Amino acid sequence: MKLIIKRISHPKIFVYTVIWLMVLTVLGTLAQRNIGLYASQQKYFSSYIIWLGDIIPAPGGRITMVIMLVNLASMLFKHNIWKLKKAGIIIVHLGAVLLFIGSGVTAILSSEGNMVIDEGAQSNYVDDYHNMELAIINTSRENLDEYTVFDQPLLKKGNKLSHESLDFMIEIMEYYNNCKVQRRTEPADIKYKGMMKNFDLVELNLEKENTQNRSGIIYKIENSNLTNDGIYGLILGQSVTQTATINNQNFEFLFRKKRTYLPFSIELLDFKKVLHAGTGIAKSYSSEINLIENGIPRRVLIQMNEPLRHRGYTFFQSSFIEGPEGEATVLAAVKNYGRLFPYISSIVMSIGLFLHLLINLPKLLRKNIIAGKK
């Protein structure tokens, strides 16, 4: 075991991985020009493996950082490091380990999206910026709708989706990250239902800006009944849901941005926009809101650089919409469990470096004195 720890804690591993991380940073930055920021992040930094030139496999950002974490953490398992004179080094390593754990927590558990709220209206959910979901809603009950939601990782071509709340099965036939609706030139086969009777979804090249991509799915309903079994299509932003009545239960099918419901609501009381004098360019925006929790409203002002932090969420004033029915605010909502890690780890590492300097100061001074005498 000692040998294993010795090998995986070798400082050269850290040096090589840091160099590789720098290479990834350069590649990722260059790739942004062609594939956009989000796709570049996903390809180089959020992946375990990347394919150089689509042929050569190489470690992606995540695996590189896992190697760095293991390398740094295993250093702490060395027996000869646990000495008072190396306390500074231990603390610096602990700080670095904390930083990597924090980045892992952020990468895996954080979420970001936006809330669009009309003036006078309230909302209690956040729409994810990038991830989609297929929501199947049983609307048969009188007061409550029952939602069965399949997240994007399940919406892969060939996947079969089922759940105890559904009397039928869904097979994903196609998932497009960007597509458009195209009118059929010839009548469709009888197996196509709903919108797909007259239209088809056609895959498009990805836009650089991920929010401009319009995802869509083609799915097959099986084991329901002869009327509803068939192939359906949904595209992001489709204003009217696909409906079906299966075994006397009414269902609606929605393909939308992944939705996270909050344990509180936000009501937009007033949205204010200040323009630069004589121009149509916004100088500042602010949203006066009611934060409603357990039925109790609390008035808060969200403005540029002054976000609202509540229950782990941070709401930033992001944008606004001016429409015929009034104004709406767009709040960016971020939940980052690893938010404090960089601060804590920076403090820990600073303490470690300072301690290391203090411990070694007498030794350094002695060396200087001896050197001076010589």
Partner 1 sequence: MTKQIILLFLVFLMLSCDSNNHIRTYHLPKIHHTNNETFQTKSQKPQLSGFTWEKPDSWIPSQGSSMRIASFDVPFSTGMGDLSVMELGGDGGGLVANVNRWRGQIGLEPLEESEIRAQAQPGESKIGPYEIFQLINDSNSDTAMLTAILPMNNSTLYIKLTASKDGIIDLEKDFKTFCSSIKHDTNI
Residue 108 touching partner 1 (CB under 8 A): yes
Residues 29-88 within binding reach of partner 1 (CB under 8 A) = 48, 62, 65-66, 69-70, 73-74, 77
Residue 325 touching partner 1 (CB under 8 A): yes
User: 305 Cβ partners below 8 Å, 6+ apart?
Assistant: none
> Contact with partner 1 (CB under 8 A): which of 183, 226, 370, 374?
183
Pick 257 or 356: Cβ nearer partner 1: 257
- Angle of CA points 257, 259, 262, to nearest 5°: 155
Q: Whole-angstrom Cα distance, residue 330 to residue 324?
A: 16
Q: Which residue has the tokens 């602990």?
A: 94
Q: How far is the CB of 142 from partner 1 (least distance, A)?
A: 8
Phi/psi-derived region of residue 54, left when phi > 0, alpha when psi is between -120 and 50, beta in every other case: left
Instruction: Give me the half-sphere count of Cα atoms (radius 13 Å) on the Cβ side of residue 101.
Output: 13
Residue 109 touching partner 1 (CB under 8 A): yes
49 sits in which H/E element = strand 49-52
Which of 78, 87, 79, 107 minimizes the C-alpha distance to 11? 78
Quick one: CA torsion of 338, 344, 350, 356, rounded to 10 degrees? -100
Pick 36 or 194: Cβ nearer partner 1: 194
- Angle of CA points 23, 25, 27, to nearest 5°: 70
Q: How far is the CB of 53 from partner 1 (least distance, A)?
A: 26
Q: Whole-angstrom Cα distance, residue 23 to residue 29?
A: 10
Pick 153 or 187: Cβ nearer partner 1: 153
Q: Which stretch binds partner 1 (CB under 8 A): 276-284, 310-318, 322-330, 344-352?
A: 322-330
Residue 239 touching partner 1 (CB under 8 A): yes
Pick 72 or 356: Cβ nearer partner 1: 72
> Contact with partner 1 (CB under 8 A): which of 11, 237, 263, 312?
237
Residue 297 touching partner 1 (CB under 8 A): no
Q: How far is the CB of 323 from partner 1 (least distance, A)?
A: 5
Pick 10 or 359: Cβ nearer partner 1: 10
How many positions of this chain bind partner 1 (CB under 8 A)? 58
Q: What is the DSSP secondary structure assignment for residue 224, as one 8-state letter?
A: S
Which of 299, 277, 298, 274 minimizes the C-alpha distance to 286? 274
Q: Whole-angstrom Cα distance, residue 311 to residue 28?
A: 34
Residues 122-181 within binding reach of partner 1 (CB under 8 A) = 127, 131, 137, 139, 143-154, 161, 163, 165, 180-181
- Is the four-CA dihedral 172, 224, 251, 161 of positive or negative sign? negative
Q: How far is the CB of 135 from partner 1 (least distance, A)?
A: 9
Residue 306 touching partner 1 (CB under 8 A): no
Q: Which residues bind partner 1 (CB under 8 A)?
A: 1, 48, 62, 65-66, 69-70, 73-74, 77, 104, 108-109, 116, 127, 131, 137, 139, 143-154, 161, 163, 165, 180-181, 183, 194-195, 197-199, 235, 237-243, 252, 254, 256, 258, 261, 321, 323-325
